[in-house]
């Protein structure tokens, strides 16, 4: 942590800060202070300076990535961010050795230091008391969000809620247990909900409802993590998740929009009543490349067989329903594959034809055959779609649909879920999608009076760490479908459920298969298929998920050595 402390003198170029802020609210550009260079001693003099300083915090939201970067919460994979929905266009394996450094570790602690500085300085700034409290709430929100992600990724981590000088004895302290870190996260968020304004810059900056949305996410994560990873009672956290979600659900200013796809392909999410917080991209100021990677000659990442088979038919039944599903027509052809399926399937992927190396579709190819189209917007064309660093659709960060599903899952995990709970939450998401709504007796799941019996729920893969009851299974399925391609969310769901085996290509061969194209069987096609005709995107490679190793990232070895030099042991995570 020393390298973060060394830069304790805050020197801010307001021009640079203003440009960063344009990504979130360009109307504030005219209100920025004069171009100058400030130090920590003379900066904290006005609300305008505090607002400008707070804008830097928003860089932590990756959204669709910045400019040409593929560091994103959506679609892209890297060695520390892999899910079971998409197969990357090149094979990505899980990390096998501990790295000397970790970008998240460094950036997260930098952000925490910034928030601790805000919490120390803002009370001294001459400004309206309500706005002063709001910015204290903003700082607590970002500190909570950042420690939450540290605990998710690394487990036990060093914790401080003070802005420390370089020589402070508390700079190097043993890591706090992840359970204690999470409790501090919840404390910060609960305090933030009392400090933050109901609305500030609409849905492009943090407000009271953003804090409740994050609190519902944290409570659900911790409650299920303790249950499945630690065999502990997580009820306290699940109750917090429900209560926080309900605050947002009961707020009349939020409502689902009719078009699910519009969450992911809109030029503007500012003021969208379904979006609690958005990352704005403004042409010529801040762009992304998410569309270019799915609309050019670059081979697309593609849907896996494992994910494709999770889509139900419109009657709400799984495609392999015990006793049969009359709406499922098989997957011999692309027409049959998409027939009668959850409409989100066809909104995310092309239904006209598969595309692969020997047979492009409109110039596009996919590593698995499925053509990804979720981010396409018919109002955009040319470089705004096909050129890296020129895309500018907005990205959702927190949505009402997530809050609904947080509420439903927490209710099911508590064992108290009722049909009223379903109707207040998940059934609104399903109705918007165009599939049959659920009913339950508290354990089982039914659609139109038919009990759902998915053999995948009790398969050998699920038995590795234990099967869940049918209503939890269907809520998890809905979450997967609703947030298809939200890579960061899906990966963290897998880890909190202790389902890392989903990523293992031996335990789960379907995670490294693609579309079924029987016409390629026995041909000399460059695109390989197995005996049943399913595309094999990678040949001669496997991915092994090692438990407990891969449930947490390695602590950077440089930081372990840095702490050791100060006489403090920073323990490495199991398996590394």
Q: What is the pLDDT of residue 25?
A: 37
Average pLDDT over residues 57-80: 96
pLDDT band at 37 (very low <50, low <70, confident <90, very high): low
366 touches 254 (CB < 8 A): no
Residue 2 has pLDDT above 90, yes or no: no
511 touches 502 (CB < 8 A): yes
Mean pLDDT rounded to a whole number for the chain: 93
186 touches 261 (CB < 8 A): no
Q: What is the pLDDT of residue 42?
A: 86
Q: What is the pLDDT of residue 257?
A: 97
pLDDT band at 403 (very low <50, low <70, confident <90, very high): very high
Contacts of 463 (CB under 8 A, 6+ apart): none
Residue 286 has pLDDT above 60, yes or no: yes
- Integer angstrom CA distances of residue 64 from 39, 247, 279, 487, 566: 33, 28, 9, 11, 39
Dump the DSSP string for 323-355.
Answer: T--TT---SSSHHHHHTTB-HHHHHHB-SS---
Average pLDDT over residues 13-23: 33
212 touches 364 (CB < 8 A): no
pLDDT tens-place string over residues 292-351? 999 999 999 999 999 999 999 999 999 999 999 999 999 999 999 999 999 999 999 999
Q: What is the pLDDT of residue 167?
A: 86
454 touches 320 (CB < 8 A): yes
In the DSSP assignment, the letter for residue 557 is H
| Cα Rg of the chain, angstroms | 24
Within 13 Å and on the Cβ side, how many CA atoms surround 528? 8
H helix or E strand, kind and range, residue 178? helix 178-195
Q: What is the pLDDT of residue 35?
A: 52
Residue 26 has pLDDT above 50, yes or no: no
Q: What is the pLDDT of residue 12?
A: 33
Question: Alpha-carbon distance 433 to 419, whole Å?
Answer: 19
Question: Alpha-carbon distance 247 to 363, whole Å?
Answer: 47
Residue 532 has pLDDT above 80, yes or no: yes
CA dihedral 150, 154, 159, 163 (to 10 degrees): -50
């Amino acid at each position: 942590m020393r390298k973060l402390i060394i830069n304790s003198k805050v020197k801010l170029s307001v021009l640079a800060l203003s440009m960063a802020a344009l990504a979130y609210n360009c109307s504030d550009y005219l209100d920025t202070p004069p171009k100058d260079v400030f130090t920590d001693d003379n900066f904290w003099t006005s609300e305008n300076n505090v607002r400008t300083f707070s804008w830097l915090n928003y860089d932590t939201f990756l959204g669709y990535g910045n400019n040409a970067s593929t560091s994103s919460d959506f679609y892209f994979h890297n060695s520390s961010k892999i899910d079971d929905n998409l197969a990357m266009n090149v094979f990505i394996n899980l990390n096998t050795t501990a790295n000397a450094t970790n970008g998240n570790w460094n950036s997260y602690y930098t952000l925490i230091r910034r928030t601790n500085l805000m919490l120390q300085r803002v009370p001294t700034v001459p400004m309206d008391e309500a706005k002063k409290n709001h910015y204290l709430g903003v700082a607590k929100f970002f500190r909570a969000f950042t420690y939450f992600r540290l605990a998710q990724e690394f487990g036990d981590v060093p914790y401080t809620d003070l802005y420390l000088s370089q020589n402070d004895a508390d700079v190097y302290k043993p890591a706090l247990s992840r359970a204690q870190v999470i409790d501090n996260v919840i404390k910060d968020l609960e305090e933030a909900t009392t400090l933050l304004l109901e609305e500030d810059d609409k849905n492009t900056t943090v407000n009271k409802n953003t804090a409740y949305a994050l609190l519902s996410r944290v409570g659900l994560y911790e409650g299920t993590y303790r249950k499945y990873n630690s065999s502990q009672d997580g009820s306290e956290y699940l109750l917090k998740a429900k209560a926080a979600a309900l605050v947002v659900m009961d707020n009349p200013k939020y409502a689902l929009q009719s078009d699910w796809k519009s969450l992911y392909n809109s030029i503007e999410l500012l003021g969208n009543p379904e979006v609690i917080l958005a990352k704005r991209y403004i042409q010529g100021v801040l762009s992304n490349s998410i569309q270019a990677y799915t609309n050019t000659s670059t081979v697309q990442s593609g849907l896996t067989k494992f994910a494709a088979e999770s889509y139900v038919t419109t009657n709400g039944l799984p495609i392999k329903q015990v006793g049969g599903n009359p709406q499922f027509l098989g997957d011999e052809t692309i027409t049959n594959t998409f027939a009668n399926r959850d409409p989100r399937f066809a909104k995310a992927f092309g239904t006209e034809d598969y595309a692969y190396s020997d047979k492009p579709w409109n110039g596009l190819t996919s590593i698995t055959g499925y053509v990804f189209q979720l981010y396409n917007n018919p109002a955009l064309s040319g470089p705004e779609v096909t050129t890296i660093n020129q895309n500018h659709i907005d990205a959702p960060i927190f949505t009402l649909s997530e809050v609904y599903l947080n509420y439903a899952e927490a209710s099911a995990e508590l064992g108290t879920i009722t049909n009223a709970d379903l109707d207040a939450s998940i059934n609104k998401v399903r109705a918007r999608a165009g599939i049959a709504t659920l009913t339950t007796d508290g354990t089982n799941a039914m659609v139109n009076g038919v009990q759902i019996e998915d053999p995948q729920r009790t398969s050998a893969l699920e038995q590795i760490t234990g099967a869940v009851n049918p209503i939890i299974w269907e809520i998890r399925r809905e979450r997967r479908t609703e947030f298809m391609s939200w890579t960061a969310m899906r990966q963290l769901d897998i880890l909190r459920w202790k389902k890392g085996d989903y990523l293992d290509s031996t335990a789960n061969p379907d995670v490294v298969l693609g579309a079924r194209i029987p016409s390629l069987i026995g041909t000399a096609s460059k695109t390989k298929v197995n005996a049943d005709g399913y595309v094999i995107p990678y040949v001669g490679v496997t991915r092994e998920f090692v438990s407990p190793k891969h449930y947490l990232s390695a602590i950077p070895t440089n930081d372990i050595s840095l702490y050791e030099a100060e006489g403090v042991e920073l323990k490495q995570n199991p398996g590394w």
